[in-house]
Amino acid sequence: MTVFEQDGYDLRVEWGLDGVRALGPHCAVLVIVDVLVFTTTVDVALGRGARVLPLAWHDERAAEAAKAAGATLTPTGLEKLDGQQTSGWSLRPSSLTELPPDTLLGITSPNGATLSAAAAETGATVLAGCLRNASAVGAAAARLAGDRPVGVIAAGERWRPQQTLRPSVEDLLGAGAVAAAVTGRAAPSSEAALAVLSYRAVQDRVPDVLADSVSGRELVAAGVADDVKLAGDVDVSTVVPVLENGVFTA
């Protein structure tokens, strides 16, 4: 082990794909947090009685994997077309508010979906957390982990065109909200403690902080403010998305 696994702490928080690789093998549960928007989308979809197949690829492999699973592959973008939502279901959580039950969606994204697929390979139980379901997911993570560590992964955003990690306000808050709800942990790491403190410092005005963040402003400017509003609805959901056989199920 190295210091990067946050060894000795029973609640750990880290960022991105490297964080998944560092914490996953040493934690009983990994919670993936991608507030804008993948894990928010998963929460909304599962709240409708659907399931989500997270896909790491953004090419023909995604289409092939979705077809093999019998899933409907959604478009990858968040933009509106001609002022209207994209046709059919999409990565946008607001496009799924009328999603029929029992739908299986294949969703690809460079952050949340990619991290979920990678987390499944570590052997940890994988949950999808966001601000909407933070308390439910945190409580479930504590229950599932027993006396073993819980890891929370803040997805972060991607700088374009380099695609390097950009730590983001929304995922720090989401990770902090989930971590705050993980009970029975005697020894949170400094990273986990700071995430919790950050969330608690602004928990009475989360929607405004989210909308004023770089990521929130980016989506508002793209005409998808409804997605930011949905993402900022703290603890409106009791859905606990669990990745089983490669599919998120409530």
- What digits encode the pLDDT tens for the residues 161-205? 878 999 999 999 999 999 999 999 999 999 999 999 999 999 999
Kindly report, residue by residue over 101-157, the tens digit of the pLDDT.
999 999 999 899 999 999 999 999 999 999 999 999 999 999 999 999 999 999 999
Q: How confident is the model at residue 78 (pLDDT cuts 50, 70, 90)?
A: low
Q: How confident is the model at residue 81 (pLDDT cuts 50, 70, 90)?
A: very low
Three-state helix/strand/coil letters over the chain? CCHHHCCCCCEEEEEHHHHHHHHHHHCCEEEEECCCCHHHHHHHHHHCCCEEEEECCCCHHHHHHHHHHCCEECCCCCCCECCECCCCCCCCHHHHCCCCCCCEEEEECCCHHHHHHHHHCCCCEEEEECCCCHHHHHHHHHHHHCCCCEEEEECCEECCCCCCEECCHHHHHHHHHHHHCCCCCCCECHHHHHHHHHHHHHHHHHHHHHHHCHHHHHHHHCCCHHHHHHHCCCCCCCCCCEEECCEEEC
Q: How confident is the model at residue 80 (pLDDT cuts 50, 70, 90)?
A: very low
Sign of the CA dihedral running 127, 132, 138, 144: negative
Q: Taking 90 as the threshold, does the pLDDT of residue 84 lie above it?
A: no
Q: Taking 70 as the threshold, does the pLDDT of residue 8 lie above it?
A: yes
Angstrom distances, CA of residue 242 to CA of 191, 224, 226: 24, 27, 26
Q: How confident is the model at residue 88 (pLDDT cuts 50, 70, 90)?
A: confident
Q: How confident is the model at residue 77 (pLDDT cuts 50, 70, 90)?
A: low
Kindly report, residue by residue over 205-220, the tens digit of the pLDDT.
999 999 999 999 999 9
Q: Are 34 and 229 in contact (CB under 8 A)?
A: no
Q: What pLDDT is recorded for position 158?
A: 87
Q: How many beta carbons lie within 10 A of that of residue 84, not counting itself?
A: 8
Quick one: angle between helices 112-120 and 16-23, nearest 10?
20
Q: What pLDDT is recorded for position 160?
A: 80
Domain boundaries of the chain, sorted by first residue: 7-41+110-235
Given the candidates 3.90.1570.10, 3.90.1560.10, 3.40.50.720, 3.40.1190.20, the CATH classification of the domain at 7-41+110-235 is 3.90.1560.10
Q: Taking 70 as the threshold, does the pLDDT of residue 76 lie above it?
A: no
- Strand-pairing partners, residue 157, are 166
114-135 b/e (C-beta count within 10 Å ≥ 16 → b): bbbbbbbebebbbbbbbbbbbb
Kindly report, residue by residue over 36-52, the tens digit of the pLDDT.
999 999 999 999 999 99
